[in-house]
Amino acid sequence: MSLFLKRTPIRILSAQFTSPTTRKATMEKISTTDAAPPAGPYTQAIKTTPYIYVSGQIPADKEGNLVKGSIAEQTTASCESVKAILAAAGSSIDKVVKATVFLTDMANFAEMNGVYEKYFAHKPARSCIAVYQLPKGVPVEIEVIALS
């Protein structure tokens, strides 16, 4: 008795892709004085339709002075900067699709979450990453991706 594998014909579907040379992507730098200025050689955000990529925001006021106090106060400052930058880009915090929170101490997770959920009530995708250190010795930094 011989064994033969039954061959099933495979149907190949064709797809048509747009050539990268026919698409025109644009990048716009977003900058506002209503949020903390960048702490280094980067822009506050980049807008490239349909997304806005907001750089990590540390707890600093509009003049760039670090906000001291509880993790709740510092998270609020970071969220306010994110909110102002999104507004300058013509978007809003309720259009955030992905957030990344960096904490230097996961013991601050619950307190940070208490503030975070007030700003991000629509519950976008999120990662929270414990890091050894953040710029200027701050305990929290938040970056987001939002729809235009």
**CATH for 62:** 3.30.1330.40
How many folded domains does the chain comprise? 1
Number of Cβ atoms within 10 Å of the Cβ of 97: 14
Q: Which of 14-18, 34-38, 71-75, 86-90 has the lowest mean pLDDT?
A: 14-18
**Is 10 contained in some domain?**
no
Burial (0-12, 13-18, 19+ Cβ within 10 Å), 79: buried
**Is 137 contained in some domain?**
yes
**Is 78 contained in some domain?**
yes
**Is 8 contained in some domain?**
no
What is the Cα–Cα distance from 96 to 55, expressed in whole angstroms?
13
**Is 5 contained in some domain?**
no
What was the pLDDT predicted at 24? 75
**Is 3 contained in some domain?**
no
Express each pLDDT in 5-51 by its tens digit: 566 565 655 555 555 555 678 899 999 999 999 988 999 999 998 99
- pTM (2 d.p.): 0.83
**Is 48 contained in some domain?**
yes
Range of the domain at 60: 28-147
In what order do the strands lie in the sheet containing 51-57? Answer: 28-30, 45-48, 51-57, 140-147, 96-103, 125-130
